[in-house]
Amino acid sequence: MPGNKNFHTIIETITSDVGEITSEVGGIPSTVGVIVYGAKSSVYGAEPTVYGAKSTAYGAKPSVFGAELTVYGAKSLAFGAKPTVYGAESFVYGAKTTAYGARLSGFGAKTLAFRAELGV
């Protein structure tokens, strides 16, 4: 059939017709869709702006709460000063631990020496 010019012409015609039908059917709804749905989207888009204003109003409350948290934050800093004192105690205990650690290292050295004598 590839040698048949009429068959080739029919295929081209069908293809072009289908393409035109597709563009007409697809083009009109898509244009309407852009306008209509776009307009609805704009309307709905306006509502989030209104809700956005409400959110801003609600957002002001967290700022107030934020100020309270800052006050509580100051208290936390005051409480934070105590852990610093406890931290100093931890350093003291840490020094003791280091001393014990040194003793354990001493025992470790003795153990290694004992193993060396045994030839382990």
Q: Which pTM was predicted?
A: 0.15
40 with 46: CB under 8 angstroms? Answer: no
**DSSP per-residue string spanning 80-102:** HHHHHHHHHHHHHHHHHHHHHHH
Per-residue pLDDT of 21-33, as tens digits, reads 444 444 443 333 3
DSSP-derived letter for residue 3 is T
Per-residue pLDDT of 22-66, as tens digits, reads 444 444 433 333 333 334 444 444 444 444 444 444 444 444 444
CA 91 to chain centroid, in Å, comes to: 38
Question: CA torsion sign, 94 to 95 to 98 to 100?
Answer: negative
